[in-house]
Amino acid sequence: MPNGTFGAQVSVASGHGSASTDRVMRFVPEFATPAAASQYALDEGVLWVERQTSKPIVF
């Protein structure tokens, strides 16, 4: 970001060929480090997938 902070965004893709979709989410909070921005994006992406599928994701 211009002020030296970092933004977070995540892309969740699914499907194949012409049936593929891609959901891109950009988030408002700004973060002091790239790692903090990445973790926030990952957490939000996982929550979105869990809500869509009603299944918890385990790493």
pLDDT tens readout for residues 32-57: 999 999 999 999 999 998 888 887 87
pTM of the model: 0.79
Q: Taking a C-beta distance cutoff of 8 angstroms, is the pair 11, 22 a contact?
A: yes
> What are the tokens at 3?
């002020």
Mean pLDDT score of the chain: 92
The pLDDT of residue 2 is 92
The pLDDT of residue 29 is 95
* CA nearest neighbour of 44 among 33, 28, 22: 28
- The stretch 19-30 carries a mean pLDDT of 93
